[in-house]
Structure 1
Amino acid sequence: MHDIFLIRHSITEGNLQKRYIGMTDEPLCEEGILLLKQIRQRRKQKEADHVYTSPLKRCIETAKWLYPDLPLTVEEELRECHFGRFENKNYRDLDGDEAYQSWIDSNGTLPFPGGEDPKAFKERSVRAFLRIIEEEKKEKIAFVIHGGTIMSIMEALIQPSKSFYKWYVKNGCGYHLKEEDGTFYLCEKIE
């Protein structure tokens, strides 16, 4: 049995500008640090014995703020989706781009030009998460990861099922899950 905390990284400059920052390795911005200070003051931090994080700076920095005394394991497969040509751009930058309009019209199901296929990204995220849960002996595990990674895990494993975008969480927020015998249960949304 595991208690699992899925926490989205704090705010980056790219988040403020509504950019697709999948593989862009941005640090947290001032607003992101301020948010983490506020979270530590207003919310009792969820207990964990170990923390897993994406290799990107925004996740590692968030994990160190929220769990400063815990061991941290960087897991490559928990990284965000590679947005290809859309990487580090926002909807204004992509206005008039036919490939972007096609991707929007597909409800985000088409592969990103020069990037990752959303289906492959979701499969990678869930596969890495399940492998970690299967191998981890500690009961309380925190994952400080990306919004897309969290939405992929939740869409695949939680019942009643919801579509990918229905599992969206703001920066610094997430979900508390329980796992028992390979079945995952939603305990609460962490805000």
Structure 2
Amino acid sequence: MGREMAEEIRICLVRHGKTEGNVRRGYIGCRTDEDLCERGRKELETYKSEGRYPAAERLYRSPMKRCLQTAEIIWPELLGAETCRVVEDFRECDFGAFDGKSYAELSGVPDFQHWVDSDGMGAFPGGEDPKDFRRRTSDAFLAVTEELFADGIRNAAFAVHGGTIMSVMAEFGDPEKSYYDWHVWNGDGFLVTVSEQDWRRTHRFRRIERLLPVEDTEG
């Protein structure tokens, strides 16, 4: 019966709320475990009060504080052991020597210019190769999706990072777009719907909705 109920599932992917590092446009990866800033908390509370985030039966989140605190605001009822899963491989990319620094702080740094010249595709000095990051997050998402179908879950929520969402959408989104084309601002994300039959055949999302109106996001 459970598997029959989960023939179609809805997955809500939310980028965590703003941190101080996000406000100053820093490269905030897995080495910087920041709290949400007050502005970030208030924005999430406003979006929630507007009904932007759907209810869910199970929550998956990155291990980092900003994702936990986002989940505490949006889905506090799902934080118990029975309904919440912490997925280590959903953590943000390791930006290595760039972690915690802003574009302005890195401007003129040879290693940073070399990375920019690679169209953001090169490995971060002392950090992670973007290809490895995308693979680990996509593989983790595949494993979680199998769990959702197996457990008969129809509505799932993900409190994760912008990079994690871009990796998942670039790998499974339809129509196909590049990694950076799937960028979302803090508190925004996507609601995707998949049927088990279609997922087995294509591993593509067929129905994709943006959580926030364009005018409510930063340009």
Normalising to structure 1: TM-score of the pair? 0.97
% identical aligned pairs: 43
Count matched residues. 191
Q: Secondary structure at the match of 2:116?
A: helix
Aligned twin of 2:29: 22
- The alignment's C-alpha RMSD in Å is 1.0
Assess if the C-alpha contact under 8 Å between 1:175 and 1:186 holds in 2: no
Inter-partner Cα distance in structure 1 for 2:145 and 2:86:
15
Tell me how far apart the structure 2 counterparts of residues 28 and 15 of structure 1 sit (CA, whole Å). Answer: 9
Structure 1 position 81 matched with structure 2 position 81: no
- Which one has a larger percent helix, Structure 1 or Structure 2? 2
Give me the whole-angstrom Cα distance separating, in 2, the residues matched to 1:93 and 1:109. 20
**Which consecutive unaligned segments of at least 5 residues does structure 2 have?**
1-7, 213-219
Q: Where in structure 1 do 4 or more consecutive aligned residues deviate above 6 Å?
A: none
Name the TM-score, length of structure 2 as normaliser: 0.85
Which protein shows a greater Rg? 2
What is the distance in 1 between the residues matched to 2:53 and 2:174?
26
Q: Matched residues in 1 for 2:11 and 2:67: separation?
A: 17
What is aligned with 2:4? none
Match in the other structure for 2:3 = none
Aligned residue in 1 for 2:76: 68
Whichever residue aligns with residue 113 of structure 1, its letter is P
| Partners of 2:166 and 2:120 in 1: CA distance | 13
- 2:125 is matched with 113
Displacement of 1:44 after TM fit?
Answer: 4.5
- The residue aligned with 1:185 is 206
Q: 1:105 corresponds to which letter in structure 2?
A: D
Superposed counterparts of 1:11-160, under 5 Å: 11-23=18-30, 24-70=32-78, 71-136=83-148, 137=151, 138-160=153-175
Shift of 1:107: 0.7
Q: Is the 8 A contact 2:121 2:130 kept in 1?
A: yes
The letter for the 2-side match of 1:88 is G
Contact 2:68–2:159 (8 Å) recurs in 1? yes
